[in-house]
Amino acid sequence: MDVRLMDGLNMSRRIRRTPYTDRFEQVGVRGFSVVNHMLLPKAFQTSVEEDYWHLREHVQIWDVSCQRQVQIEGPDAASLVQWMTPRDIGRAKVGDCLYVPIIDANAGLINDPVLLKLAEDRFWLSIADSDVLLYAMGLALGRGMDVSVSEPDVSPLAIQGPRAEDLLAGLFGDHIRDIGFFKYGWIDFAGTRQLIARSGYSRQGGFEIYLEGGHLGAALWDAIWQAGQPLGIAPGCPNLIERIEGGLFSYGNEMTRDNNPLEIGLEKFCCLDGSVDYIGRAALQKIAADGVTQQIRGVAFDGGPCPTCSKPWPVMVGDSQVGQITSAIWSPRLKRNVGQSMIARSCWKAGQRVHVVSQDGMIRDGEISDLPFA
């Protein structure tokens, strides 16, 4: 195994365990990532390729507790949330999940959470890897807003794959079949009412249960694990092959504060007509008027399975760097490497021939692709 794919992770309380970590250890987790100061199981007894095929065909249980919730509650809650995102949340209804980019004053991306509207004055931001809690607290303190900002004891568990709906309908009732994409409903579990959304970080369908009460974690796992046996359930995680092919982006990888949402193709989540006020609006409107100079694209490339991408790889046309790959892996289905890359306007058309300089120093032929990959 490439040493850079997986070195050791030193454990401490600071890197928080989740309500499901014990169970994942029991089924043989052997690698983690760290997101929001919390463990994200990322490697199992099986290979990433085996996990990929399994996810596409069966059902998996993922510990995504690291998708922490930032709860914003109170009379000014809706104002604060709207101030944080260029997306117009004015027409959102209770029961909706909304993908909401969060940007700074220069329109640089701070996070790209899913917003859950729980009530007119109560929201959860289900966050990617940055302390949105501290940002929201700072904004509220600075502006003197009447809100409470907190991290509730909520630990999402994702059930992903084509058999997810059958599994969960069997356990919790057929009413979950009626939950629309990016909507949420409720299930009863162990005498409690728990939020369940049709969402998740794959293109294979499925749900996320926002378990409230960490002490129920093992019991929830056990119930799903047991019911999933006939369906071939396996432990899993966001699968790098599947997410790259599917055009799902990762905050900190494909986008950082150096990127604006238009570069990431998030125009449809950005209100640019001036009807909504938010941090970074003037900067974003100017970028939109000028046109972006780079945008995210796929790159398919050759040369056999590429190494792990742990730093940006130059994408070249002739002697000029025209972009950088930030995530890449071998696709066993497409029989090529697939990557996601920020690409300069002059070269971002699908089919453009490029060279990729991968982390092992190899120069690989490839071409620009639209996302998702076919």
List of residues contacting its own copies (CB under 8 A): 3-15, 17, 25, 29-34, 37, 42-43, 104-105, 110, 129-132, 134-145, 250-253, 279, 308-312, 326-327
Q: By C-beta, is 194 or 327 nearer to its own copies? A: 327
What DSSP character marks residue 268? Answer: G
Q: By C-beta, is 194 or 358 nearer to its own copies? A: 358
Shortest Cβ 275–its own copies spacing (Å): 21
Q: Taking Cα atoms as reference points, which of 153, 102, 92, 94 lies closest to residue 125? A: 102
How far is residue 249 from each of residues 14, 15, 215, 265, measured CA to CA in Å? 27, 24, 32, 10
Shortest Cβ 94–its own copies spacing (Å): 26
Q: By C-beta, is 17 or 333 nearer to its own copies? A: 17
Q: By C-beta, is 78 or 279 nearer to its own copies? A: 279
Q: Contact 151/71 with Cβ under 8 angstroms?
A: yes
To which H or E segment does residue 322 belong? strand 320-331
How far is residue 204 from each of residues 162, 229, 291, measured CA to CA in Å? 6, 19, 33
Shortest Cβ 335–its own copies spacing (Å): 23
Shortest Cβ 168–its own copies spacing (Å): 27
Question: Residue 225 burial (CB < 10 Å; 0-12/13-18/19+)?
Answer: middle
Q: By C-beta, is 95 or 108 nearer to its own copies? A: 108
Q: By C-beta, is 42 or 87 nearer to its own copies? A: 42
Q: By C-beta, is 18 or 369 nearer to its own copies? A: 18
Sign, CA dihedral 162-252-213-151, equals negative
Shortest Cβ 77–its own copies spacing (Å): 15
Shortest Cβ 239–its own copies spacing (Å): 12
Dist CA 126 CA 132 (whole Å): 10
Dist CA 31 CA 1 (whole Å): 13
Shortest Cβ 124–its own copies spacing (Å): 18
Sign, CA dihedral 13-14-18-19, equals positive
